[in-house]
Structure 1
Amino acid sequence: MTVRRSFLLASALSLGLGAPLFAQGTINVAIVGEPDTLDPMLSTKDVVSIVTQHMVETLYTFDSKWNVAPLLAAEMPTVSDDGKVYDIPLRTGITFQDGSAMDSADVVASLNRWLKLATRGKGVADKVEKIEATAPDAVRITLKSPYAPLLSLLAFSNSAAAIYPEENQADVLEKVIGTGPYELAERVPDQYLQFVRFDKYVPREEPTDGAAGKRGQVPDEIRFIPTPDPNTRVEGLLAGQYDFADSLPSESFDRVAGSDKAEPVMIESFGWPVFALNHKQGLLTDRKIRQALQMALPIDDMLFAAFGDDKFFKVDGPMYPEGWPWRVENGVENYNVNDQAKAGELLKEAGYDGTPLRILTSRQYEFHYKMAEVAKMALEMAGFKVQLDVVDWATLGERRNDPALWDIYISHSPFLPEPALTDMYFKTSRIGWSEPEKDKIADAFLAEPDPAKRLELFGQLQAANFDDVGFIKIGNFNAVLGKAKTLKGVDPTPWPYFWNASKE
């Protein structure tokens, strides 16, 4: 597609002029908003992961069953008997999008940058003794103590341990240079990001299996179109403007299902909405006030308001749903108490002085906002004064980095294959939840290699979260996405990828 054609497409979309004619081989994807960065090390936002996984790669990734699989690594690492040394062989013949060849020096520099700057990297940094090149095509990670989730962290596209050229390692990158199957050709803020095939990309030879195996470079172009309003995403999908639309309102399910152009995609037990609490400063540094907050929330009403029909959600306290190996029941007696009177008594005991409880949320994920509205009413019944700060998603992402600006921010997470990928359990996370006994449990959980013992420790960690109110899981929800009936080769996943997508 020419630049002129690109401009006309963006103009038509922004002006709402109906479905333009698309070049064959272009996949048009409506996302929830403009990514605030194209450096996935610096963000835990899903919208950043969705876009950037097409242009940058990590040493490892996940297959369709959430097993860790090699990507830029040649194979799985050799791990020492004491669990402290990981020897990682690298693929050869890999080229960056600036034309340079990838080698171990690039990997070492990138992983050190990840430890310094990335939320998840900083969480493990104090456990890393050193990262070194042992050959041009091999690196070694030496830990101070065993760290069981290391490979899952290295595989995650969110706060990703992305591999960049050694020469491109500034704290803030002027340009993101990766090894992925697509590269950025053009970006018009708030209109589109145009990705085209990287002609020197070398895919893996194994069959495609989730994000693992061959990444096929099937589309000529992938175009991500920021579409903050969820109803606009629905209408664009139904009109044929979009081949794929992320995060649709649950009430649109039946309408999309009745379309002759599109169909809904529902991912069951997709994830969990969360009230992330500020432990660094402000009201919620007081444990009794946190407990009052947890006690006052009407979970059933919040989920009904958010999703409208219980086929889209489940009132469920454990951190993992039925059928997951991490499912434990510890502490769930403190879930969904829904007692505003008792919460009010706790507020009085805490000496609450009427300082506004600031809830930071966005309407780009409409279910976040609907939960906030219901929570506000219940919390005010308990005696809180509540201030809803409603902003766009990019602004929320900026403000949550400053603990002076919020007491709660509302987000959500897919259910992840490794609990340690949820960084809020750990004192290094953005929310800053640190309590001595909990921290001991968390450290033991990270160091323990035995799966049965790790499950027992995770149960203790879940109980600590309910007791100390580290953060609040609201429930389970099913995600509703939408795709054109002609679109093939897109797996239903929390972070959809389109390198194998095609249109009939």
Structure 2
Amino acid sequence: MRLQKTAIVGALMLSTALPATAETLRWARAGDALTLDPHAQNEGPTSALAHQIMEPLVMRDMTGAIVPALATEWGPSPNDPNVWVFNLREGVSFHDGAEFDSGDVVFSLNRAMTPDSDYKELLASVTEVRATGPATVEIVTNGPNPIMPNNLTNLFIMDEGWANANNAVKVQDYEGGEDTYAAKNANGTGPYKLVSREPDVRTVLTINEQYWGSNEFPMDVTEIIYTPIQNAATRVAALLSGEVDFIQDVPVQDLERVAGTDGLDVRTAPQNRVIFFGLNSGDADLANDNVDGANPLSDVRVRKAMSMAINRDAIQQVVMRGQSAPAGMIAPPFVNGWNEEMDSSSVTDVDGARALMEEAGYADGFTIQLDCPNDRYINDEAICQAAVGMLAQIGVTVNLDAKPKAQHFPLLSNLETDFYMLGWGVPTYDSEYVFNFLVHTKGERYGSWNATRYTNPDLDMTIQALASETDLEKRNAMINDIWTVVQDEALYIPIHHQVLNWGMASKIGTIVAPDDTAKFKYFEIE
């Protein structure tokens, strides 16, 4: 049975595309995966594509619950509290027929801890990964780690033999512009196999007939054709015409139109993601401002003034058309450590902001560049445009530079931006994830997404101590203390919590996953 009755070929689709069938699902979203290397980029759409092809030891299902994947059982060792033991699924093979075993897990997790990996923070407490049998792995940590399984849900397992044969042992240096075999090819254990890959154009996957879970999941989708469509109007037109069956990012201005179309549904849920602005508060001088020999963003009064100038309610109502929830902290309500009082702390006060600017010595304001993606978050460029006008009210003249995420994200990693937009989801559902990536000093094993240049050695020690604190009441108190510092220092300017709107053919059966990751093995087709 077809997912959609018609398939009118438009300019956005390749002329060679075949009509959709019951088994074919045509999937589109604003941006493509950045790479197929499973450890190179910790980025939502990149992980979403990887989840179709590869698998972690444990994963989150469509409700957000942790469920078995390549591991069937796990738990702390009864003999050593610093060791987690994982019993692996037996009889699993990679897409090329190679057998999966503990050696692949040891190889993959060690690979994910190397400097070019974008997942190393998740394994920062790990001192050793060892195989104690062909189907058993032990992860040794520096002190007991109470949330280790939470850290593994997006850490994909590679075939060690395939990596060695294809010069893919080293993680791709994405920020450095490196291109590798693993960036465009993949050999996983997942429900779908890679057929072809044209970055930013088209990726085709087909069902893995040997998948271990064939009898455990619906597996109604047997072919996936993934087409990035950056332009919102074109993306919606493709859904309305039947050229695609599923889009993850229905523009807020088109929600009623899609929902009112026969044969189409819009399904909505809160997302585990916050949108915010980051500021370079650590450098002595900025490259992209008009203040010589000083950094206005290093003054907490300026950072607070800029936050106070942002009218989040206006952004919610005008830019997002109600499809967002104003935020006061850079953690979503899903996350352990989220605090309702902190999350409601952002208040618009232009007069108060002007007073703070004057007190800080910037009564006449300054000029700065805002770097913004235009194909990653819902209405990302429009949010940045709104912020430009709001900041102008306190004398901050903002030059907006919006570009695709593939060019935007390296600015953060390479510390080439002073003022930027970022969105952050928390797959571990714990604040430690936020702190490890965004608050800890940028270094070898922490802070890879901390482009603020903020450093606080005492705070770093507290963040690292979270990994081994098993007294949950004490641990939660530590988390609250860290958040208090983050809030007091105004390290980031929270904007809002995203709301997900998935548009799809009505015959597709699925719920909306809070992490915005569609795992198609769960989808049912009427």
TM range (shorter): 0.7 to 0.9
CA contact 2:329–2:487 (8 Å) conserved in 1: no
- For 1:313, the equivalent position in structure 2 comes to 324
CA offsets 1:430-485 (integer angstroms, 9 cap, x no match) = 22543234334423433322333333222222222211122232223321110101
- For 2:75, the equivalent position in structure 1 comes to 77
Q: What one-letter code is carried by the residue in structure 1 that aligns with 2:412? A: R
- For 1:498, the equivalent position in structure 2 comes to 520
CA offsets 1:83-130 (integer angstroms, 9 cap, x no match) = 311122212221112321112111111101111146663225542221
Give, in angstroms, the shift of residue 380 of structure 1: 1.9
Q: Tell me the SS of whatever aligns to 1:14.
A: coil
Give, in angstroms, the shift of residue 318 of structure 1: 5.2
- Distance in 2 of aligned mates of 1:484 and 1:204: 24
Deviating more after overlay: 431-440 vs 461-470: 431-440
Give, in angstroms, the shift of residue 31 of structure 1: 1.6
- For 2:85, the equivalent position in structure 1 comes to 87
Give, in angstroms, the shift of residue 74 of structure 1: 2.5
- For 1:298, the equivalent position in structure 2 comes to 311
- For 2:469, the equivalent position in structure 1 comes to 448
2:202 to 192, 207, 210: 192
Q: What one-letter code is carried by the residue in structure 2 that aligns with 1:61? A: M
Q: Does 1:390 align with 2:402?
A: yes
- For 2:159, the equivalent position in structure 1 comes to 164
Deviating more after overlay: 350-359 vs 394-403: 350-359
Alignment of structure 1 residues 354-393 onto 2, 5 Å: 356-364=367-375, 365-393=377-405
- Change over 3 Å in CA distance of 1:236–1:11 after alignment to 2: closer
- For 2:3, the equivalent position in structure 1 comes to none
- Change over 3 Å in CA distance of 1:16–1:165 after alignment to 2: closer
Give, in angstroms, the shift of residue 502 of structure 1: 4.1
- For 1:225, the equivalent position in structure 2 comes to 227
Q: Tell me the SS of whatever aligns to 1:474.
A: strand
Q: Does 1:421 align with 2:433?
A: yes
- Change over 3 Å in CA distance of 1:340–1:40 after alignment to 2: farther
- Structure 1 stretches of 4+ with a deviation exceeding 6 A read 321-324
CA contact 1:152–1:421 (8 Å) conserved in 2: no
- What percent identity do the matched residue pairs reach? 24
CA contact 2:365–2:394 (8 Å) conserved in 1: no
Deviating more after overlay: 264-273 vs 338-347: 338-347
CA offsets 1:128-160 (integer angstroms, 9 cap, x no match) = 2211111122111111223333211111x3xx3
Q: Tell me the SS of whatever aligns to 1:106.
A: helix
Q: What one-letter code is carried by the residue in structure 2 that aligns with 1:461? A: I
- Change over 3 Å in CA distance of 1:271–1:331 after alignment to 2: closer
Give, in angstroms, the shift of residue 424 of structure 1: 1.6
- For 2:254, the equivalent position in structure 1 comes to 252
- Distance in 2 of aligned mates of 1:95 and 1:171: 22
- Distance in 2 of aligned mates of 1:338 and 1:299: 8
- Distance in 2 of aligned mates of 1:435 and 1:98: 48
- Change over 3 Å in CA distance of 1:324–1:394 after alignment to 2: closer
- Distance in 1 of aligned mates of 2:511 and 2:352: 48
Aligned residues: 482
Alpha-carbon RMSD across the aligned residues, in angstroms, is 3.1
CA offsets 1:370-410 (integer angstroms, 9 cap, x no match) = 22122111212212221211112222233332212342223
Q: Tell me the SS of whatever aligns to 2:227.
A: strand
Give, in angstroms, the shift of residue 80 of structure 1: 4.8
Q: Does 1:36 align with 2:34?
A: yes
Unpaired runs of at least 5, structure 1: 1-8, 206-213
- TM-score after normalising by structure 1: 0.86
CA offsets 1:156-175 (integer angstroms, 9 cap, x no match) = x3xx3433325242223413
Q: What one-letter code is carried by the residue in structure 2 that aligns with 1:230? A: A
Q: Does 1:411 align with 2:423?
A: yes
Give, in angstroms, the shift of residue 249 of structure 1: 1.6
1:181 to 166, 191, 208: 191
Q: What one-letter code is carried by the residue in structure 2 that aligns with 1:468? A: E
Give, in angstroms, the shift of residue 264 of structure 1: 0.5
CA contact 1:264–1:481 (8 Å) conserved in 2: yes
CA contact 1:32–1:47 (8 Å) conserved in 2: no
- Distance in 2 of aligned mates of 1:111 and 1:485: 40
CA contact 2:102–2:137 (8 Å) conserved in 1: yes
- Change over 3 Å in CA distance of 1:288–1:161 after alignment to 2: farther
Q: What one-letter code is carried by the residue in structure 1 that aligns with 2:520? A: F
- Change over 3 Å in CA distance of 1:349–1:456 after alignment to 2: same
- Distance in 2 of aligned mates of 1:416 and 1:141: 17
- TM-score after normalising by structure 2: 0.82
- Distance in 2 of aligned mates of 1:96 and 1:114: 19
- For 1:141, the equivalent position in structure 2 comes to 139
- Change over 3 Å in CA distance of 1:324–1:107 after alignment to 2: closer
- Change over 3 Å in CA distance of 1:410–1:271 after alignment to 2: closer
